[in-house]
Structure 1
Protein backbone atom coordinates (compact mmCIF):
# COMPACT_ATOMS: atom_id res chain seq x y z
CA UNK A 1 0.00 0.00 0.00
CA UNK A 2 2.81 2.40 0.94
CA UNK A 3 4.57 1.55 -2.33
CA UNK A 4 1.42 2.32 -4.33
CA UNK A 5 0.94 5.64 -2.53
CA UNK A 6 4.55 6.58 -3.24
CA UNK A 7 4.12 5.70 -6.91
CA UNK A 8 0.93 7.76 -7.10
CA UNK A 9 2.70 10.76 -5.52
CA UNK A 10 5.59 10.43 -7.97
CA UNK A 11 3.19 10.30 -10.90
CA UNK A 12 1.36 13.39 -9.64
CA UNK A 13 4.67 15.21 -9.20
CA UNK A 14 5.71 14.34 -12.74
CA UNK A 15 2.41 15.55 -14.23
CA UNK A 16 2.66 18.83 -12.36
CA UNK A 17 6.32 19.29 -13.28
CA UNK A 18 5.52 18.57 -16.92
CA UNK A 19 2.69 21.10 -16.82
CA UNK A 20 5.04 23.74 -15.41
CA UNK A 21 7.66 23.06 -18.09
CA UNK A 22 5.11 22.94 -20.93
CA UNK A 23 3.49 26.17 -19.70
CA UNK A 24 6.85 27.95 -19.37
CA UNK A 25 8.77 26.56 -22.34
CA UNK A 26 6.25 25.05 -24.73
CA UNK A 27 6.06 21.44 -25.86
CA UNK A 28 8.89 21.26 -28.40
CA UNK A 29 11.68 22.84 -26.26
CA UNK A 30 10.67 20.83 -23.19
CA UNK A 31 12.76 17.76 -22.41
CA UNK A 32 12.27 14.77 -20.14
CA UNK A 33 15.42 15.78 -18.26
CA UNK A 34 13.95 19.22 -17.54
CA UNK A 35 10.75 17.59 -16.30
CA UNK A 36 12.44 15.00 -14.09
CA UNK A 37 14.64 17.66 -12.52
CA UNK A 38 11.60 19.88 -11.87
CA UNK A 39 9.85 16.92 -10.23
CA UNK A 40 12.93 15.95 -8.21
CA UNK A 41 13.04 12.38 -9.53
CA UNK A 42 15.45 10.38 -11.68
CA UNK A 43 15.00 9.82 -15.40
CA UNK A 44 14.48 6.15 -14.61
CA UNK A 45 11.58 6.98 -12.31
CA UNK A 46 10.06 9.18 -15.00
CA UNK A 47 10.28 6.40 -17.62
CA UNK A 48 8.70 3.95 -15.21
CA UNK A 49 5.53 6.08 -15.26
CA UNK A 50 5.67 7.65 -18.74
CA UNK A 51 7.31 6.15 -21.81
CA UNK A 52 7.69 9.46 -23.62
CA UNK A 53 7.20 13.22 -23.53
CA UNK A 54 4.03 12.72 -25.57
CA UNK A 55 2.63 10.39 -22.91
CA UNK A 56 3.28 13.08 -20.30
CA UNK A 57 1.64 15.71 -22.47
CA UNK A 58 -1.45 13.54 -22.84
CA UNK A 59 -1.64 13.06 -19.07
CA UNK A 60 -1.47 16.83 -18.58
CA UNK A 61 -4.13 17.40 -21.24
CA UNK A 62 -6.48 14.79 -19.77
CA UNK A 63 -6.28 16.35 -16.32
CA UNK A 64 -6.70 19.85 -17.74
CA UNK A 65 -9.76 18.74 -19.73
CA UNK A 66 -11.33 17.27 -16.58
CA UNK A 67 -10.74 20.55 -14.74
CA UNK A 68 -12.33 22.60 -17.54
CA UNK A 69 -15.38 20.30 -17.61
CA UNK A 70 -15.73 20.77 -13.84
CA UNK A 71 -15.65 24.56 -14.31
CA UNK A 72 -18.72 24.50 -16.53
CA UNK A 73 -20.56 21.95 -14.39
CA UNK A 74 -19.91 23.81 -11.13
CA UNK A 75 -21.17 27.06 -12.59
CA UNK A 76 -24.34 25.28 -13.73
CA UNK A 77 -24.82 23.60 -10.34
CA UNK A 78 -24.35 26.97 -8.63
CA UNK A 79 -27.55 28.07 -10.34
CA UNK A 80 -26.29 30.15 -13.26
CA UNK A 81 -28.36 29.84 -16.44
CA UNK A 82 -28.43 31.38 -19.90
CA UNK A 83 -26.02 34.20 -20.56
CA UNK A 84 -25.13 34.41 -16.87
CA UNK A 85 -23.78 30.86 -17.08
CA UNK A 86 -21.49 31.95 -19.93
CA UNK A 87 -20.36 35.00 -17.96
CA UNK A 88 -19.62 32.94 -14.85
CA UNK A 89 -17.88 30.14 -16.74
CA UNK A 90 -15.57 32.53 -18.60
CA UNK A 91 -14.64 34.27 -15.35
CA UNK A 92 -13.90 30.94 -13.68
CA UNK A 93 -11.89 29.74 -16.68
CA UNK A 94 -9.73 32.87 -16.70
CA UNK A 95 -9.15 32.54 -12.97
CA UNK A 96 -8.09 28.92 -13.47
CA UNK A 97 -5.69 29.97 -16.23
CA UNK A 98 -4.16 32.41 -13.77
CA UNK A 99 -3.70 30.11 -10.79
CA UNK A 100 -3.77 26.51 -12.07
CA UNK A 101 -0.71 25.47 -14.06
CA UNK A 102 -2.40 22.26 -15.25
CA UNK A 103 -5.16 24.22 -16.99
CA UNK A 104 -2.66 26.75 -18.33
CA UNK A 105 -0.45 23.98 -19.75
CA UNK A 106 -3.47 22.23 -21.26
CA UNK A 107 -4.33 25.33 -23.27
CA UNK A 108 -0.67 25.87 -24.16
CA UNK A 109 -0.51 22.34 -25.58
CA UNK A 110 -3.75 22.96 -27.51
CA UNK A 111 -2.03 25.71 -29.45
CA UNK A 112 0.99 23.60 -30.41
CA UNK A 113 0.80 22.69 -34.11
CA UNK A 114 3.37 19.91 -33.63
CA UNK A 115 0.73 17.86 -31.75
CA UNK A 116 -2.30 17.54 -34.06
CA UNK A 117 -3.66 14.46 -32.25
CA UNK A 118 -3.69 15.85 -28.74
CA UNK A 119 -6.78 16.83 -26.75
CA UNK A 120 -7.64 20.30 -28.00
CA UNK A 121 -9.00 22.24 -25.03
CA UNK A 122 -9.77 25.25 -27.17
CA UNK A 123 -11.93 23.09 -29.42
CA UNK A 124 -13.68 21.55 -26.40
CA UNK A 125 -14.31 25.00 -24.95
CA UNK A 126 -15.74 26.16 -28.28
CA UNK A 127 -18.12 23.20 -28.42
CA UNK A 128 -19.38 23.98 -24.93
CA UNK A 129 -19.83 27.68 -25.75
CA UNK A 130 -21.68 26.87 -28.98
CA UNK A 131 -23.94 24.37 -27.23
CA UNK A 132 -24.83 26.81 -24.46
CA UNK A 133 -25.54 29.61 -26.91
CA UNK A 134 -27.86 27.37 -28.91
CA UNK A 135 -29.77 26.70 -25.68
CA UNK A 136 -29.84 30.39 -24.81
CA UNK A 137 -31.18 31.24 -28.27
CA UNK A 138 -33.87 28.54 -28.15
CA UNK A 139 -35.05 29.94 -24.79
CA UNK A 140 -35.27 33.47 -26.19
CA UNK A 141 -32.21 34.61 -24.28
CA UNK A 142 -30.57 36.50 -27.17
CA UNK A 143 -31.63 39.84 -28.59
CA UNK A 144 -33.58 39.87 -31.85
CA UNK A 145 -31.31 39.48 -34.85
CA UNK A 146 -28.36 38.14 -32.82
CA UNK A 147 -27.10 34.79 -34.15
CA UNK A 148 -25.60 32.24 -31.73
CA UNK A 149 -22.75 31.52 -34.16
CA UNK A 150 -21.75 35.19 -34.24
CA UNK A 151 -21.71 35.41 -30.44
CA UNK A 152 -19.71 32.17 -30.21
CA UNK A 153 -17.11 33.50 -32.65
CA UNK A 154 -16.73 36.76 -30.72
CA UNK A 155 -16.53 34.97 -27.38
CA UNK A 156 -13.96 32.45 -28.63
CA UNK A 157 -11.83 35.16 -30.21
CA UNK A 158 -11.85 37.10 -26.94
CA UNK A 159 -11.27 34.25 -24.49
CA UNK A 160 -8.56 32.55 -26.55
CA UNK A 161 -6.94 35.93 -27.18
CA UNK A 162 -6.97 36.74 -23.46
CA UNK A 163 -5.55 33.28 -22.72
CA UNK A 164 -2.65 33.64 -25.19
CA UNK A 165 -1.80 37.20 -24.17
CA UNK A 166 -2.11 36.40 -20.48
CA UNK A 167 0.14 33.35 -20.69
CA UNK A 168 2.90 35.00 -22.69
CA UNK A 169 2.74 38.68 -21.90
CA UNK A 170 0.68 40.20 -19.10
CA UNK A 171 -1.61 38.48 -16.59
CA UNK A 172 -3.87 41.53 -16.65
CA UNK A 173 -5.34 40.07 -19.86
CA UNK A 174 -6.85 37.19 -17.88
CA UNK A 175 -7.87 39.27 -14.88
CA UNK A 176 -11.42 39.64 -13.63
CA UNK A 177 -11.23 43.32 -14.48
CA UNK A 178 -10.47 42.72 -18.16
CA UNK A 179 -13.19 40.11 -18.57
CA UNK A 180 -15.74 42.27 -16.74
CA UNK A 181 -15.08 45.11 -19.19
CA UNK A 182 -15.45 42.70 -22.10
CA UNK A 183 -18.88 41.60 -20.83
CA UNK A 184 -19.91 45.20 -20.14
CA UNK A 185 -19.31 45.86 -23.82
CA UNK A 186 -20.83 42.65 -25.17
CA UNK A 187 -23.95 41.95 -23.11
CA UNK A 188 -25.94 45.05 -24.11
CA UNK A 189 -25.48 43.99 -27.74
CA UNK A 190 -26.49 40.36 -27.30
CA UNK A 191 -29.06 40.21 -24.48
CA UNK A 192 -32.76 41.14 -24.74
CA UNK A 193 -33.39 44.58 -23.26
CA UNK A 194 -35.53 43.22 -20.44
CA UNK A 195 -32.75 40.84 -19.33
CA UNK A 196 -29.85 43.27 -19.27
CA UNK A 197 -30.51 44.54 -15.77
CA UNK A 198 -30.39 41.01 -14.34
CA UNK A 199 -26.95 40.08 -15.68
CA UNK A 200 -23.83 40.56 -13.54
CA UNK A 201 -20.82 41.28 -15.75
CA UNK A 202 -18.23 40.50 -13.07
CA UNK A 203 -19.76 37.08 -12.52
CA UNK A 204 -21.74 35.61 -9.68
CA UNK A 205 -20.18 35.46 -6.22
CA UNK A 206 -19.64 31.71 -6.68
CA UNK A 207 -17.59 32.01 -9.88
CA UNK A 208 -14.56 33.83 -8.51
CA UNK A 209 -12.61 34.66 -5.40
CA UNK A 210 -12.41 37.87 -3.43
CA UNK A 211 -10.26 39.99 -5.76
CA UNK A 212 -12.08 43.26 -6.30
CA UNK A 213 -12.59 45.35 -9.41
CA UNK A 214 -15.31 47.54 -8.04
CA UNK A 215 -18.89 47.20 -6.87
CA UNK A 216 -20.69 44.16 -8.22
CA UNK A 217 -23.56 45.71 -10.09
CA UNK A 218 -25.73 44.32 -12.88
CA UNK A 219 -25.16 45.59 -16.42
Structure 2
Protein backbone atom coordinates (compact mmCIF):
# COMPACT_ATOMS: atom_id res chain seq x y z
CA UNK A 1 0.00 0.00 0.00
CA UNK A 2 2.94 2.35 0.60
CA UNK A 3 4.03 2.59 -3.03
CA UNK A 4 0.55 3.46 -4.45
CA UNK A 5 0.25 6.18 -1.78
CA UNK A 6 3.68 7.55 -2.67
CA UNK A 7 2.88 7.50 -6.37
CA UNK A 8 -0.42 9.25 -5.74
CA UNK A 9 1.36 11.88 -3.65
CA UNK A 10 3.87 12.47 -6.45
CA UNK A 11 1.07 12.85 -9.00
CA UNK A 12 -0.79 15.25 -6.71
CA UNK A 13 2.32 17.38 -6.24
CA UNK A 14 2.92 17.46 -10.00
CA UNK A 15 -0.69 18.45 -10.64
CA UNK A 16 -0.45 21.31 -8.14
CA UNK A 17 2.89 22.48 -9.52
CA UNK A 18 1.65 22.49 -13.12
CA UNK A 19 -1.60 24.22 -12.16
CA UNK A 20 0.37 26.87 -10.31
CA UNK A 21 2.64 27.33 -13.32
CA UNK A 22 -0.37 27.82 -15.58
CA UNK A 23 -1.94 30.36 -13.22
CA UNK A 24 1.33 32.24 -12.56
CA UNK A 25 2.01 32.37 -16.29
CA UNK A 26 -1.50 33.57 -17.08
CA UNK A 27 -2.10 36.05 -14.26
CA UNK A 28 1.28 36.84 -12.70
CA UNK A 29 2.19 36.07 -9.10
CA UNK A 30 0.14 38.77 -7.34
CA UNK A 31 -3.12 37.95 -9.13
CA UNK A 32 -2.62 34.19 -8.88
CA UNK A 33 -4.92 33.34 -6.00
CA UNK A 34 -4.60 30.01 -4.23
CA UNK A 35 -8.24 29.28 -5.05
CA UNK A 36 -7.48 29.57 -8.78
CA UNK A 37 -4.60 27.14 -8.41
CA UNK A 38 -6.67 24.65 -6.42
CA UNK A 39 -9.49 24.81 -8.95
CA UNK A 40 -7.06 24.30 -11.84
CA UNK A 41 -5.36 21.38 -10.09
CA UNK A 42 -8.62 19.80 -8.90
CA UNK A 43 -7.31 19.27 -5.35
CA UNK A 44 -8.28 20.38 -1.87
CA UNK A 45 -6.58 23.08 0.15
CA UNK A 46 -5.32 20.41 2.53
CA UNK A 47 -3.66 18.55 -0.34
CA UNK A 48 -1.86 21.69 -1.44
CA UNK A 49 -0.60 22.58 2.03
CA UNK A 50 0.62 19.02 2.51
CA UNK A 51 3.10 19.63 -0.32
CA UNK A 52 3.58 23.40 -0.22
CA UNK A 53 3.49 25.49 2.96
CA UNK A 54 2.32 28.68 1.26
CA UNK A 55 1.77 30.42 -2.05
CA UNK A 56 5.31 31.76 -1.73
CA UNK A 57 6.64 28.22 -1.27
CA UNK A 58 4.72 27.16 -4.37
CA UNK A 59 6.10 30.08 -6.34
CA UNK A 60 9.62 29.19 -5.26
CA UNK A 61 9.07 25.59 -6.42
CA UNK A 62 7.94 26.77 -9.88
CA UNK A 63 10.94 29.09 -10.02
CA UNK A 64 13.50 26.46 -9.03
CA UNK A 65 11.98 23.53 -10.97
CA UNK A 66 11.40 25.43 -14.21
CA UNK A 67 13.83 23.20 -16.14
CA UNK A 68 12.62 19.87 -14.73
CA UNK A 69 10.62 18.91 -17.84
CA UNK A 70 13.28 19.89 -20.38
CA UNK A 71 15.19 17.38 -22.49
CA UNK A 72 18.63 18.86 -21.79
CA UNK A 73 21.87 17.33 -23.11
CA UNK A 74 23.43 14.93 -20.62
CA UNK A 75 26.98 16.28 -21.05
CA UNK A 76 28.48 19.60 -22.15
CA UNK A 77 29.81 19.49 -25.71
CA UNK A 78 30.96 23.00 -26.55
CA UNK A 79 29.84 26.06 -28.47
CA UNK A 80 27.57 24.37 -31.02
CA UNK A 81 25.63 22.66 -28.28
CA UNK A 82 25.38 25.93 -26.36
CA UNK A 83 23.93 27.67 -29.41
CA UNK A 84 21.50 24.81 -30.01
CA UNK A 85 20.52 24.83 -26.34
CA UNK A 86 19.61 28.52 -26.29
CA UNK A 87 17.52 28.11 -29.44
CA UNK A 88 15.85 25.05 -27.92
CA UNK A 89 15.00 27.09 -24.82
CA UNK A 90 13.51 29.77 -27.05
CA UNK A 91 11.25 27.20 -28.66
CA UNK A 92 10.34 25.66 -25.30
CA UNK A 93 9.34 29.06 -23.93
CA UNK A 94 6.66 29.13 -26.63
CA UNK A 95 5.03 25.92 -25.38
CA UNK A 96 6.38 24.81 -21.97
CA UNK A 97 4.27 26.45 -19.29
CA UNK A 98 6.47 25.37 -16.35
CA UNK A 99 9.57 26.90 -17.94
CA UNK A 100 7.63 30.00 -18.98
CA UNK A 101 6.17 30.52 -15.52
CA UNK A 102 9.52 29.89 -13.86
CA UNK A 103 11.18 32.47 -16.09
CA UNK A 104 8.41 34.97 -15.39
CA UNK A 105 8.79 34.50 -11.64
CA UNK A 106 12.57 34.82 -11.95
CA UNK A 107 12.12 38.20 -13.64
CA UNK A 108 9.31 39.34 -11.30
CA UNK A 109 10.80 38.20 -8.00
CA UNK A 110 10.15 41.52 -6.28
CA UNK A 111 6.43 41.19 -6.98
CA UNK A 112 6.49 37.62 -5.69
CA UNK A 113 8.35 38.55 -2.52
CA UNK A 114 11.25 36.29 -3.50
CA UNK A 115 14.98 36.98 -3.50
CA UNK A 116 16.48 33.89 -5.05
CA UNK A 117 19.43 33.85 -7.45
CA UNK A 118 19.56 30.03 -7.50
CA UNK A 119 17.97 29.52 -10.90
CA UNK A 120 20.16 32.16 -12.54
CA UNK A 121 23.23 30.55 -10.99
CA UNK A 122 22.06 27.15 -12.28
CA UNK A 123 21.80 28.42 -15.87
CA UNK A 124 25.12 30.26 -15.58
CA UNK A 125 26.81 27.04 -14.49
CA UNK A 126 25.11 25.11 -17.27
CA UNK A 127 26.29 27.57 -19.93
CA UNK A 128 29.76 27.83 -18.39
CA UNK A 129 30.21 24.06 -18.67
CA UNK A 130 29.64 24.27 -22.43
CA UNK A 131 32.06 27.18 -22.70
CA UNK A 132 34.75 25.37 -20.72
CA UNK A 133 34.56 22.48 -23.18
CA UNK A 134 34.86 24.99 -26.03
CA UNK A 135 37.88 26.53 -24.33
CA UNK A 136 39.65 23.18 -23.99
CA UNK A 137 39.04 22.55 -27.70
CA UNK A 138 40.62 25.88 -28.61
CA UNK A 139 37.35 27.33 -29.94
CA UNK A 140 37.35 30.43 -27.69
CA UNK A 141 39.45 33.55 -28.13
CA UNK A 142 42.20 33.85 -25.48
CA UNK A 143 40.57 36.76 -23.64
CA UNK A 144 37.23 34.98 -23.10
CA UNK A 145 36.45 34.01 -19.52
CA UNK A 146 33.89 31.19 -19.45
CA UNK A 147 32.16 32.33 -16.26
CA UNK A 148 32.01 35.98 -17.29
CA UNK A 149 30.55 35.20 -20.69
CA UNK A 150 28.09 32.70 -19.19
CA UNK A 151 26.75 35.51 -17.01
CA UNK A 152 26.56 37.84 -20.02
CA UNK A 153 24.70 35.18 -22.02
CA UNK A 154 22.16 34.47 -19.27
CA UNK A 155 21.51 38.20 -18.86
CA UNK A 156 21.24 38.70 -22.64
CA UNK A 157 18.92 35.73 -23.05
CA UNK A 158 16.72 36.93 -20.17
CA UNK A 159 16.37 40.40 -21.68
CA UNK A 160 15.79 39.04 -25.18
CA UNK A 161 13.01 36.70 -24.11
CA UNK A 162 11.37 39.44 -22.06
CA UNK A 163 11.35 41.87 -24.98
CA UNK A 164 10.08 39.16 -27.35
CA UNK A 165 7.30 38.31 -24.90
CA UNK A 166 6.17 41.93 -24.74
CA UNK A 167 6.42 42.49 -28.49
CA UNK A 168 5.13 39.25 -29.99
CA UNK A 169 4.17 36.81 -27.22
CA UNK A 170 7.59 35.16 -27.83
CA UNK A 171 6.71 34.29 -31.42
CA UNK A 172 9.87 36.09 -32.52
CA UNK A 173 12.09 34.59 -29.82
CA UNK A 174 14.02 31.97 -31.85
CA UNK A 175 14.88 34.51 -34.54
CA UNK A 176 15.83 37.09 -31.88
CA UNK A 177 18.18 34.55 -30.28
CA UNK A 178 19.72 33.90 -33.69
CA UNK A 179 20.36 37.64 -34.10
CA UNK A 180 21.87 37.75 -30.60
CA UNK A 181 24.37 35.03 -31.49
CA UNK A 182 25.24 36.85 -34.70
CA UNK A 183 26.62 39.68 -32.59
CA UNK A 184 28.07 37.62 -29.72
CA UNK A 185 29.94 34.87 -31.57
CA UNK A 186 32.57 37.07 -33.29
CA UNK A 187 33.56 38.36 -29.86
CA UNK A 188 34.20 34.93 -28.31
CA UNK A 189 34.92 32.34 -31.03
CA UNK A 190 38.11 31.79 -33.01
CA UNK A 191 37.93 32.16 -36.80
CA UNK A 192 38.19 28.38 -37.17
CA UNK A 193 35.28 27.82 -34.80
CA UNK A 194 33.19 30.49 -36.53
CA UNK A 195 33.61 28.67 -39.81
CA UNK A 196 32.18 25.47 -38.30
CA UNK A 197 29.38 26.85 -36.14
CA UNK A 198 25.79 27.22 -37.30
CA UNK A 199 22.92 29.12 -35.73
CA UNK A 200 19.98 27.09 -36.99
CA UNK A 201 16.51 26.94 -35.46
CA UNK A 202 15.81 23.69 -37.32
CA UNK A 203 18.68 22.00 -35.47
CA UNK A 204 17.14 23.10 -32.18
CA UNK A 205 13.74 21.74 -33.19
CA UNK A 206 15.31 18.29 -33.38
CA UNK A 207 15.86 18.51 -29.60
CA UNK A 208 12.14 18.90 -28.93
Q: Same fold (TM over 0.5)?
A: yes
Any gaps of 5 or more consecutive residues in structure 1?
A: 212-219
CA distance in 2, matches of 1:63, 1:157: 19
> 1:1-219 maps to which residues of 2 (within 5 A)?
5-67=7-69, 71-73=72-74, 76=76, 81-111=77-107, 112-113=109-110, 114-116=113-115, 118=116, 120-148=118-146, 151-170=149-168, 171-174=170-173, 176-202=174-200, 205=203, 207-209=204-206
> Number of residue pairs matched?
202
**Alignment root-mean-square deviation, CA:** 3.0
Distance in 1 between residues matched to 2:134 and 2:94, nearest whole Å: 28
Question: How far apart, CA to CA, are the structure 2 residues paired with 1:96 and 1:24?
Answer: 16
Change (3 A) 1:163 1:72: farther
Q: CA deviation at 1:208?
A: 1.8
Q: TM-score scaled by structure 2?
A: 0.79
TM-score w.r.t. structure 1 length? 0.75
1:215 maps to none
1:214 is matched with which residue? Answer: none
Contact residue 82 and residue 135 of structure 1 kept, 8 A? yes
Question: Whole-Å Cα distance in 2 between the matches of residues 167 and 103 of structure 1?
Answer: 14
Structure 2 counterpart SS, 1:197: helix
| Aligned-partner Cα distance in 2 for 1:127–1:134 | 10
